[in-house]
Structure 1
Amino acid sequence: MTPSAPPAIPAPSRTGTVPFRGHETWFRVTGDPDALRPDASQAPLVVLHGGPGVAHDYTLAMTALAGDGRAVVHYDQLGCGRSTHLPDADPDFWTVDLFVEELRTVVDHLGIGDRFHLLGQSWGGMLGSEVLLADPHGIASLSICDSPASMPLWLEAAGTLRSRLPEEVQATLLRHEEAGTTDSAEYAAAMQVFYDRHVCRVVPNPPEVTASFAQLEADPTVYHTMNGPSEFHVIGSLKDWSVVDRLPGIAVPTLVVSGAHDEAMPLVWEPFVQRIPDARSHVFAESSHMPHVEEPEWFTAIVGAFLREND
């Protein structure tokens, strides 16, 4: 896919850090800081990035959602990006509950905990559903972007897409996974074939996407611990995660989006639409796992209209 000129990413109006469990969580705000006031006409939007452990940069195209006067909050979850890195932390430290607590700490610090929209991309959508189920207080709506309702479903979809790769690519992936050499350059090159088809079809990737992948390579602690070495070789602590049976407990308006070429195939996100009482969906025809990058104008239009409807 040949990239069109990407929209300019505005400078933040505010940045800072939030104390969290003795560490620091970094955040940025796009738009008028007054839009964080409780009486603002449009509720702020908080963006949960994916991974786990892939810094917020690749979601910065979502700052376009501030174009109608809304404040948009990005933050780097603990362990990645500009937040505190903990490369030697006990694997038991990296839990879903940790990141649910962190989200609440961030919104309370910003004074928006009583009224905000929540958007999660990939792992962020998984986390968003867990946030709602833990405590729905203050959340006006939930947008789930390119996310699975369970990791077993994700692995089923990944197996299907992987089987469609060229045979020599499949053989390379399997050989290194069996040998435990997934850190090799050959494995990375084979993995990129999958990524170019099903993760981001804008090639070369925009700078903000490249920045997130670069920081992941520099410190993959969280990603390797919770996910595994790649999008389709999930052997981390999330490999059995599922929210499917708990979805009827989500009682806020929910938008579920994905790309037609997404690694998040319909089978992984359909439970959100089928089981959340007030849910709708949209598929972006020219996108894979990053419609906000691949079809930014359509993404902003679809998600922006949903947010305005639920302000």
Structure 2
Amino acid sequence: MQRAVSRDADWSVTTRTVPFEGNETWVRISTPLTPDPDALPVIVLHGGPGMAHNYLLPLERWAGSGRTVIHYDQIGCGNSSHLPEADPEYWTPALFVREFINLVDALGLVDYHVVGQSWGGMLAAEIAVTRPSGLRSIAICNSPASMELWVAGAARLRTELPDGMDEAMRRFEDAGETDAPEYLEYVDEFYRRHVCRTEPMPQEFVDSSAQMEAEPTVYHTMNGPNEFHVIGTLRNWSIVDRLPQIEVPTLVLAGEFDEATPETWAPFVEHIRDVRSVVLPGTSHCSHLEDPDLVLDTVGAFLADHD
């Protein structure tokens, strides 16, 4: 089922659902009113896992230059089917790769780009190693190549917090009290420095966070209670040894103050054959919310180079 929900000056927006393994994936398609015949569609992969599409809506502005932009909520969050009773072992990267391939087939896409942010960039790499026939490029934004590297980078950043915060957080974590108000204050300080430096927090991020907090099954199962205390099923994830299998052109993007520290994304640059990397000054993990014009221009130029 498909329905029109809004119309911008330069593009129209429709939403629909796609059946997937007995459940439904919700999709949002921004179609330019004046399409560029040379511009391939781009599929945007959100982070979390479980953060939903909302905070990546600024990337919809590519539709204003003639490119179709496809957002979707991965299974388990947002407007897609929620499965709070699913076995924790259900939530694997392979599940989300299957969902992506199913979506591409349902939409009838022949050639397309993929842009993934945070977990979405990890998923983009997982998709690329399978070498789907229509994939023309991937942009890996603010993402690690392994969770071991991610946790090590976060641990280093935690030591740079005001005196005593890291030690106090460890006490709460050891006690299993990661919902304590004092602990959450320390989490907020880390987020202000390394997740999104824009204040007040952009509404798109607030909306994604609110839906995740209302039904946190995927995020808590795969990641953990927050960005740096990773105790979920992804804690041992790595794609480092599979990166040479990626054949499509790849952009690796990170922020100067990103919680995805340079050591976390270095393997992408070292092991992918056709790769370029860029660090955006003054931004952190949500570069696209902190400096949207710079991200739209940087990634947009990369996409245009590979249409």
For the aligned pair, the TM-score class normalised by the smaller chain equals over 0.9
Picking from 140, 145, 150, the partner of 2:146 is: 150
- Aligned equivalents of 2:243, 2:272: Cα separation in 1: 5
Partner of 1:56: 53
SS of 1:118's partner is strand
Picking from 38, 43, 61, the partner of 1:41 is: 38
AA in 2 matched with 1:110: L
Instruction: Assess, with a 3 A threshold, how the Cα gap between structure 1 residues 188 and 12 changes in structure 2: closer, same or farther.
Output: farther
Whose strand proportion is higher, 1 or 2? 2
- Aligned equivalents of 1:172, 1:188: Cα separation in 2: 11
Partner of 1:109: 106
After TM superposition, the score normalised by the length of structure 1 is: 0.93
C-alpha deviation, 1:104, in angstroms: 0.8
SS of 2:251's partner is strand
Contact 1:117–1:140 under 8 Å retained in 2? yes
- Aligned equivalents of 1:209, 1:291: Cα separation in 2: 12
- Aligned equivalents of 1:151, 1:240: Cα separation in 2: 6
* 1:79-90 map, 5 Å: 79-90=76-87
- Aligned equivalents of 1:291, 1:10: Cα separation in 2: 24
Picking from 87, 94, 103, the partner of 1:97 is: 94
C-alpha deviation, 1:41, in angstroms: 2.2
Computed over aligned residues only, the root mean square deviation of the Cα atoms, in angstroms, reads 1.7
* 1:247-286 map, 5 Å: 247-286=243-282
Partner of 1:27: 27
Gaps in structure 1 of 5+ consecutive residues: 1-7
Partner of 2:5: none
- Aligned equivalents of 1:215, 1:22: Cα separation in 2: 22
Gaps in structure 2 of 5+ consecutive residues: 1-7
Percentage of pairs with the same residue: 52
C-alpha deviation, 1:169, in angstroms: 2.3
- Aligned equivalents of 1:108, 1:241: Cα separation in 2: 27
Partner of 1:123: 119
Deviation by residue 1:117-173 (Cα, 9 ceiling, x = unmatched): 011100011111111112331001000000000110001100000111113322331
1:303 aligns with 2:294: no
SS of 1:232's partner is coil
Partner of 1:294: 290
Partner of 1:232: 228
SS of 2:164's partner is helix
AA in 1 matched with 2:86: A
SS of 2:138's partner is strand
Partner of 2:136: 140
- Aligned equivalents of 1:157, 1:180: Cα separation in 2: 22
SS of 1:154's partner is helix
- Aligned equivalents of 2:263, 2:146: Cα separation in 1: 10
- Aligned equivalents of 2:93, 2:180: Cα separation in 1: 29
AA in 2 matched with 1:194: F
AA in 1 matched with 2:22: G
- Aligned equivalents of 1:60, 1:241: Cα separation in 2: 27
SS of 1:92's partner is helix
C-alpha deviation, 1:11, in angstroms: 7.7
AA in 1 matched with 2:193: R
AA in 2 matched with 1:253: P
Partner of 1:4: none
Partner of 2:17: 17
AA in 2 matched with 1:141: S
C-alpha deviation, 1:12, in angstroms: 5.2
- Aligned equivalents of 1:135, 1:253: Cα separation in 2: 12
SS of 1:240's partner is coil
Contact 1:261–1:289 under 8 Å retained in 2? yes
- Aligned equivalents of 1:102, 1:185: Cα separation in 2: 37
C-alpha deviation, 1:210, in angstroms: 0.4
C-alpha deviation, 1:181, in angstroms: 1.3
C-alpha deviation, 1:76, in angstroms: 0.3
Contact 2:10–2:32 under 8 Å retained in 1? no
Segment of structure 1 superposing worse, 277-286 or 23-32: 23-32
